[in-house]
């Protein structure tokens, strides 16, 4: 395709995107397609000859869009917000247009250096000190795998350079809680620790925060048993209820015991743009690594996860390679981001953050998130004032965990499996309708519903509409 | 940013990209900036208030572009081709515009199902049987880490679910060659095997292909020593000289010994669209995993790496998680790609491949690659006919490894460190000029120069120009 053909198709595509984004509020929130419906609508083999752009665009509209769950819809309250601000989309488009290759500083100096700049901008915007050095990963899951490998290599004296984990004299132990995101257990398994060596530390029964004294006791017990405590993963805004582990107290233990502390702030990191929220990760300066996702609430389009570490020397010792075909005269003077993570090649993701922060400005982003925090408090109060409804966890951020408990036919409060069935039933009715979407989730062995507020377009009026839906679809 | 503001800025950006792509052949190939020049040109802190799109676009042109090494330039012969076809750029833009979230089938059914479709199209286009099931990773490096974990968990009886690698009764061994990409050693280290447990098997001195009999002997020796052979990594188009390991013979050994065989065809995978090249990975059907990068020669914009496996059950046993907040009624009927790799969240990358294959068509892609293969043979012949020049390795694909050996002042052929210094000097003169770019690389302990042909815009005339540059800048 020539630049002139691209120009023509590109203009059509921009108009299509703008029209699409305008239509999003009128589309069903959850995709209404059945399993394999999209797949069955597409040819089983690639075309032999080129097709027209109009044909492809038409399939995008008629086959793909019905298969998209509209996470940019103002009535989307599922999982966590996954905002794709149009200013960051422009940065993503610029990145695509440039067609750069990020495998070394030399292969695209600007890719490396704009990434350094925007990671440092966000370091400052979230109140982290100059001790932290950041880079962009695809997801917080990948950042967590990286952190677990860093912890493993610290505790094992760089075993990767020698006999690896099979040569370990004792099991290496990771500590977290059951509230931690599923990617934590996965990272522990992928990094080779083994699931038996992941300790779930007791939580406070209401806040779901890790109990530091229980952590200290577990570490002592492991040391007595001859095990090697290697890493701690704290959650700031855990997925279920946005639980906040007490970083400060945990970091004191980690530092005293010389154990790697990773802070998974995938969701709550965005909140740290607000000075009034920073108490939620008080003590973070004493951690070893921190990851969070601008591609969630802050709204830089996925995939944009940030990982900060303090000890860059350790990071590079663990992650670096230096093959002859990637060497250049600039080595030693510049950062080689390939030595900061798993993949060698990287896209020019920094442009997404650069465009987003420059075109929207931090103040507008903060204002939007403050709106969401207020909406969450308002919504919490509404739920608490409604007969039969309860809010099940603290609302420190923008996610409200709710449950409705009706009377059964005998005038008794519904409970047990019957309550689970009822909960899953009403949320499924709403989700299936396409009018709103929420995520059911299990808390203390019982289903509840997470209402995660924070889509760019979600205003108070949308929450009022959600309240009506809740009332209308429950007994 | 509203859709209308996006529409206006988007049109400007499309024009900017089309203009930029037209200008690429007139830009220096290697970025001419000094270390930190881009960074120093940017503000140290994020802006307080929003900036205009014109300001950002102007900075993109004046600060970023000079910091870009132009891998789309027809005189770029460095590393491997990293084509970013404009048809795939359109698919990438569509993906950005949609702003989807890929964490489960339910979060975007179309994202999952279009990925299934295009992975299957490319399976057919590369001649793989229906036994293979593919997904998109960011890079072949990440695919290799995944493959090493799959090998580890097969050999250790799913140790991840129990005591992990520290509980291993013996070292787990991986076999490869010194020609393998640096990401292989890195993957072995990241997966916890330890570098001591990576065996570099002897190669043929000219083709650099792994010797199957040496592999068999190494496995026997390891078994005698009580070690556990766990995985073999074969290269099809290794980075230095595009060496081709003999898959068929190696696969027979792997199958007989029940060892996981991963085929790293990062570069040569594209060539498998050409039936006449498929003999280069003869035997691939007997491997366990294969990875290759459409974002290289084939030209779907980075990041687009494909990984195929045969045993999906094993893949999912190793990589899956199933937290309550990601469950849906469709589970069991659909693929959950989060259980096929490391990250939970994924972009709608399949659109890049979908647009590329539909708008350009496989035939045009094949025609372009055949042009490159012919150009490589022509270039090889030219070099061989030039006084003092030699071609150092077979030219099975599109990369030609060359060296010039002049006489010294005493009429002797230059050798040793003096030859290295000379080689690095002339290639640096050309690379620094911005007129062409090649990658110096070490082969058998001596520097040589890789001329990797295959940029979309590279025609015979560009290679003629390169020949002139080589003659002009050597003694």
Give the minimum alpha-carbon distance from A383 to chain B in angstroms, rounded to a whole number: 21
* Residue of A1, A94, A126, A423 to mutate for B, most B C-beta atoms under 10 A: A1
Contacts of B295 in chain A (CB under 8 A): 345
CA distance A115 to chain B (A): 9
- Whether B344 sits inside 8 A of A183 (CB atoms) is yes
What are the phi and psi torsion angles at B15 (to 5°)? -60, -40
pLDDT 10s digits, A112-159: 999 999 999 999 999 999 999 999 999 999 999 999 999 999 999 999
Q: Would you state the pLDDT for residue B68? A: 98
Contact A67 B319 (CB under 8 A): no
The residue of chain B nearest to residue A293, with distances taken between CA atoms, is B345
Asked if A94 reaches chain B (Cβ–Cβ under 8 Å), the answer is yes
Q: Which residue is closest to A79 within chain B, CA to CA?
A: B325
Strands B437-443 and B76-77: parallel
pLDDT of residue A331: 83
Contact A10 B6 (CB under 8 A): no
Helix%, strand%, coil% for chain A, nearest 5 = 50, 15, 35
The model carries a pTM of: 0.97
Q: With beta carbons under 8 A apart, name residues in chain B contacting A84.
A: 96, 99
A contact test, residue of B66, B113, B123 with most A CBs within 10 A: B113
A149 alpha-carbon distance from chain centroid? 19
B-contacting residues in A 223-262 (Cβ below 8 Å):
239-240
Structural domains of chain A in order of their starting residue, each with its CATH number? 3-68 (1.20.1340.10), 93-360 (3.40.640.10), 363-473 (3.90.1150.170)
Alpha helices in B109-236 (DSSP H): 109-125, 140-155, 182-190, 212-224
**Hey, is A266 helix, strand or coil?**
coil
Residues 6+ apart with CB under 8 A from A236: A244, A245, A247, A263, A264, A265, A267, A268, A269, A280, A281, A284
Instruction: Give the C-alpha distances (Å, rounded to integers) separating A301 from A295, A342, B295.
Output: 5, 21, 21
Task: Give yes or no for B65 touching A (CB within 8 A).
Answer: yes
Question: CA of B411 to nearest chain A CA: how many angstroms apart?
Answer: 30
Ranges of residues in chain B with a pLDDT under 50 are: none
Low-confidence ranges of chain A (pLDDT < 70): none
Q: With a CB-CB cutoff of 8 Å, which residues 271-330 of chain B face chain A?
A: 295, 301-303, 319, 321-327, 329-330
Cβ contact, residue pair B189, A164, below 8 Å: yes
* Interface predicted TM-score (ipTM): 0.97
d(CA A424, CA A449): 9
Q: Is A429 on the interface with B (CB under 8 A)?
A: no
**Which residue of chain A comes nearest to B293, CA vs CA?**
A345
CA dist., res. A308 & res. A269, Å (int): 12
A–B interface: beta-carbon pairs under 8 A: 529
The β-bridge relationship of strands B198-200 and B172-176 is parallel
Helix axis angle for A460-472 and A362-384, nearest 10°, is 30
Q: Measured between CA atoms, how close is A410 to chain B, in angstroms?
A: 30
Question: Which residues, including other chains, have CB under 8 Å from residue A278's CB and lie 6 or more apart?
Answer: A126, A127, A272
Residue B124 to residue A442, Cβ atoms within 8 A: no
Q: Which among B113, B186, B178 is positioned nearest to B144, based on CA atoms? A: B186
Chain A contacts in chain B segment 176-215 (CB below 8 A): 181-183, 185-186, 189-197
Question: What are the chain B neighbours of A122 within 8 Å (beta carbons)?
Answer: 46
Give the closest of A4, A121, A325 to B239, CB-based.
Answer: A325
Q: Do A46 and B196 touch (CB under 8 A)?
A: no
What would the pLDDT profile of B390-437 be if each residue is shown by its tens digit?
A: 999 999 999 999 999 999 889 999 999 999 999 999 999 999 999 999
Record: contact A361-B31, CB cut-off 8 A: no
Are the beta carbons of A171 and B189 separated by less than 8 Å? no
Our CA-based measurement puts residue B302 at a distance from the nearest CA of chain A, in whole angstroms, of 7
Q: For residue B257, what are its two tokens? A: 């010994």
Is residue A326 within 8 A of residue A104, CB to CB? The reply is yes
């Amino acid at each position: 395709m020539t630049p002139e053909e691209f120009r023509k198709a590109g203009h059509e595509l921009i108009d299509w995107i703008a029209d699409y984004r305008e239509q999003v509020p009128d589309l069903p929130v959850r995709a209404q397609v059945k399993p394999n419906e999209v797949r069955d609508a597409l040819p089983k083999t690639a075309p032999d000859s080129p097709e027209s752009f109009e044909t492809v665009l038409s399939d995008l509209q008629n086959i793909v869009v019905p298969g998209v769950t509209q996470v940019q819809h103002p009535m989307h309250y599922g999982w966590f917000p996954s905002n794709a601000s149009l200013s960051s989309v422009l940065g993503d488009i610029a990145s695509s247009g440039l067609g750069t290759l990020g495998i070394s500083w030399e292969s695209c100096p600007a890719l490396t250096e704009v990434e350094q700049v925007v990671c440092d901008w966000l370091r400052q915007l979230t109140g982290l000190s100059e001790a932290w050095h950041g880079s962009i990963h695809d997801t917080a899951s990948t950042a967590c795998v990286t952190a677990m490998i860093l912890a493993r290599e610290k505790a094992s004296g760089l075993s990767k350079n020698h006999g690896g984990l099979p040569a370990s004299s004792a099991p290496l132990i990771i500590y977290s809680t059951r509230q931690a995101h599923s990617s934590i257990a996965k990272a522990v398994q992928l990094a080779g620790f083994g699931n038996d060596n992941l300790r779930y530390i007791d939580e406070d029964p209401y806040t779901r925060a890790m109990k530091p004294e229980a952590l200290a006791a577990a570490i002592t017990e492991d040391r007595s048993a001859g095990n090697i405590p290697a890493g701690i993963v704290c959650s700031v805004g855990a997925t279920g209820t946005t639980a906040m582990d007490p970083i400060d107290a945990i970091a004191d233990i980690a530092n005293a015991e010389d154990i790697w502390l990773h802070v998974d702030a995938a969701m709550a990191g965005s909140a740290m743009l607000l000075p009034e929220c920073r108490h939620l990760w008080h003590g973070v300066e004493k951690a070893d690594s921190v990851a969070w996702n601008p591609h969630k609430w802050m709204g830089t389009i996925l995939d944009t996860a940030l990982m900060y570490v303090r000890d860059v020397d350790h990071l590079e010792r663990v992650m670096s390679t230096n093959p002859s075909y990637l060497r250049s005269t600039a080595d030693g003077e510049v950062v080689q981001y390939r030595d900061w993570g798993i993949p060698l090649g990287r896209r020019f993701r920094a442009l997404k953050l650069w465009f987003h922060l420059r075109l929207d400005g931090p103040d507008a982003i903060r204002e939007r998130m403050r709106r969401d925090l207020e909406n969450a408090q308002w919504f919490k109060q509404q739920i608490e004032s409604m007969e039969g409804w309860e809010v099940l966890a603290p609302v420190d951020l923008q996610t409200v965990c709710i449950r409705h408990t009706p009377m059964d036919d005998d005038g008794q409060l519904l409970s047990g499996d019957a309550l689970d069935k009822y909960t899953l039933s009403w949320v499924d009715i709403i989700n299936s309708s396409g009018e709103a979407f929420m995520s059911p989730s299990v808390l203390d062995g019982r289903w509840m519903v997470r209402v995660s507020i924070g889509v760019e377009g979600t205003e108070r009026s949308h929450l009022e509409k959600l309240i009506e839906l809740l009332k209308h679809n429950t007994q």
